[in-house]
Amino acid sequence: RCCIRELGTSLEFYYIESGNNPADIATRPLTKEPFSCSDWLSGPRWFNLKEANWPMESPSSPATETYDESQEGIDATPICAPTVKTLPQRRNSIIDLSRFRHYSQALRALTRAMKTLSQWIARVNAVNNRSIALTSLQHFSPDSELTSDEMKAAEHIILHEQTNDINIEELRAKHKDKNLFYDENHLIRAHCV
């Protein structure tokens, strides 16, 4: 905080009520249609208004500084005792299977998400005259219907993600009776010897 003050930078925090905050949309239960038209994908509509009309307000309980003016002439040395705890590095997961009751629900959810992303990229490409191309989206068309090929592509994404941290050499050492290999989708497969 002091370093920021010394640089002459001021920070202002604002509150945006949930109804106007696009970040909150992802926490609400929405079906595919309202989500694909929501501000979560395109950004808040109120950004198009003049800044004076933005739905922001100061926080109701501003942070107070605990600065004691009576200590002003005293040389004080700030004490800092950093604690560093090394946690095992976790990868960002594209889908958390534990949040779904059935695998088929997770598969449909990922397929819809990939199709929505495909629609969004198609719109961005059209508006900005750009060509954003993601290899993981090449199997997902921007239309609204789910196809079996798209479900299969989503399943490959899930399987690849779930097996990505597995060391195939360790598996081969444990299962010498099986011929383990990566297939064309980089999934681990086995042939019994």
At residue 66 the predicted structure's pLDDT band, cuts being 50, 70 and 90, is very low
Burial of 183 (0-12, 13-18, 19+ CB in 10 A): exposed
Residues 6 or more apart whose Cβ sits within 8 Å of residue 22: 38, 39, 40, 43, 44
Closest CA to 111 of 149, 154, 147: 154
In DSSP terms, 56 is beta-bridged to 16
Render pLDDT for 149-182 as a digit per residue (tens, 0 to 9): 999 999 988 888 888 778 888 888 888 888 888 8
What is the mean pLDDT of the segment spanning 85-93?
A: 56
Answering whether pTM is above 0.95, one says: no
